[in-house]
Amino acid sequence: MSSVAIVTGAGGGIGFEIARTCVAAGGSVVMCDLNDERGRHAVDELAAPDRVHFERVDVSDEPGVERLAEAAMRRFGRLDAMFNNAGIGGAFGPITEQSVEDWDTTFAVNVRSVFLGTKHAARVMIEQGSGGAIVNTASIAGMTGGGGPQAYSATKAAVISLTRTTAVELAPHRIRVNAVCPGAVYTELLHRGRPEQTDRWREEIQPWPERGQPEMIADVATWLASDAARFVTGEAVTADGGLMAATPRLMDHDLPHLQRMTGIAYG
């Protein structure tokens, strides 16, 4: 496990579990979230004040993301891993009803963030000269047509593409770039406070019997950042309880509210 990491969207869900895993392995973490309260609560829960630093940053904002890399250097003296994890559900509803603003916001939070995180982490890692690992949280929605709303799916396909192109570009610097592609994971982003609503996915279409939990994704993401994955780069690894194997049709099943309405979800 790399020793100093930045984790975006670390206030809850998958990002928090990535930060927890890094800290449990003895590492130090710069945690970032837009939600100050969530972020500070997450820091308290990790109970490792000397090895955890929180910054309230919007990941679509370049000076903010640059600040994260600076914080890693200032507080912990180096940077080994960048987890570009923060994301939102984004624009939903029929394509014929979607607004340009909602579409652009979805791309700013889900894709510009990964570009910025990669840019500023890679600058530091190249200067450091000892390589590093970048892990982007994509989604199975970026691999198929039935895994999420159009804008969200397009952003995650872009993240997978960016993962591959930057893996090729950064390999000479010994910086590995990979993506983890979760299926249905029971976080706020998915269930919006009503986990039972999405249980039908698990019962009807996800082959694996248990609910996807954030720590299951964190384990894959931190493995990708670790030396155990030292020959793995440019990969998009699915962790989805077999959904892709079974062909997901999530939009047919339990997202009727997303099909009837139009708007943007910031969670």
**Considering only CA atoms, which of 61, 18, 15 is closest in space to residue 38?**
15
Does 187 contact ligand NAD by CB under 6 A?
yes
Q: Catalytic residues, which ones?
A: 152
Q: Which of residues 125-154 bind ligand NAD (CB under 6 A)?
A: 137, 139
Nearer to ligand NAD, 173 or 257 (CB): 257
Does 69 contact ligand NAD by CB under 6 A?
no
| Residue 213 tokens, joined | 């939990």
Does 234 contact ligand NAD by CB under 6 A?
no
Nearer to ligand NAD, 17 or 80 (CB): 17
Binding mask 12-31 for ligand NAD (x = CB under 6 A): xxxx----------------
| Residue 43 tokens, joined | 């820091």
Nearer to ligand NAD, 13 or 149 (CB): 13
Among the listed residues 109, 133, 157, 236, the single contact to ligand NAD using CB under 6 A: 109
For 123, other C-beta atoms within 10 Å of its C-beta total: 13
Q: How far is CA 115 from the centre of its chain?
A: 13
Among the listed residues 182, 206, 233, 236, the single contact to ligand NAD using CB under 6 A: 182
Among the listed residues 38, 67, 176, 202, the single contact to ligand NAD using CB under 6 A: 38
Among the listed residues 68, 71, 87, 179, the single contact to ligand NAD using CB under 6 A: 87
Residues 84 and 190: their CA atoms lie apart, in Å, by: 18
Note whether 182 and 140 are within 8 A (CB). Answer: yes
Note whether 28 and 95 are within 8 A (CB). Answer: no
* 101: Cβ contacts below 8 Å, ≥ 6 apart: none
Q: What angle do CA 115, 62, 88 make, to 5 degrees?
A: 60
Chain residues in the site for ligand NAD (CB under 6 A):
8-9, 11-15, 32-35, 38, 57-60, 85-88, 109, 137, 139, 182, 184-185, 187-190, 214, 267
